[in-house]
Chains A and B, each alone.
Chain A
């Protein structure tokens, strides 16, 4: 039998990475199915949408979090918001703010570890990585699996399931159509336009693919750095 975990993968973006290397770097707990404890991860289609943020443009108002929880849950919540903005008021710019948006990873660790495929690729909604909350058994493996702190899958302690950013595919509490083909509440409300939707796959390693420069000349005219 071949060691499929060593097989290189060429994904849609033309990037290659070893599955073993990816799993190692992610620190993912590989759930044993089949070959000597190693999972065969079926290739999943890439998402048709991604959120890019500019942490240097963010004003820390948390409106994105309030909008996210409102359109998904119907109430305001910071803890159940599927995008998180973390800030330290005493720290100097630009390290005072971090934005943790879901990366809709090309090779999503959270999808890989879900034992019941509740966290799955939603082919009906542009391949967003999302949770079927009816299937979720509350094992929290997805929450532990996310390699990017603070972890992007959210534990909904009120309904005992996980949930995550789906680019507003399941946002029922506003009049817009969500998902990669529609609008995202956080993008719509951000006062600084510090969140942008793209259908281009960002560079998957590091943060530069997802934390980008959205500041143009008009931002510079306001007296802020455009670098």
Chain B
């Protein structure tokens, strides 16, 4: 996987912040017994945690738009878009996106420490 460009401290602060209520992203967690749990996501970290569940469901385009316009990570959003345009199931794509987001979060942590 190609590396992300090195983020500045300010950029890390921006993309790892918690967003306001009106800017939240709605995702769902599918559990074989629990049914569908609808969850508001307020940060990139929370998005990653949902995508780490076995059967997350988020509308792919909404996810991409959210990362671009709310989180304001254009580079990550572009990569997300590329993945969503590839063949495969939505679940496979979400797992791929999760890995990408995870890499970004690791970068953020490295900057913080």
A–B contact (CB under 8 angstroms): no
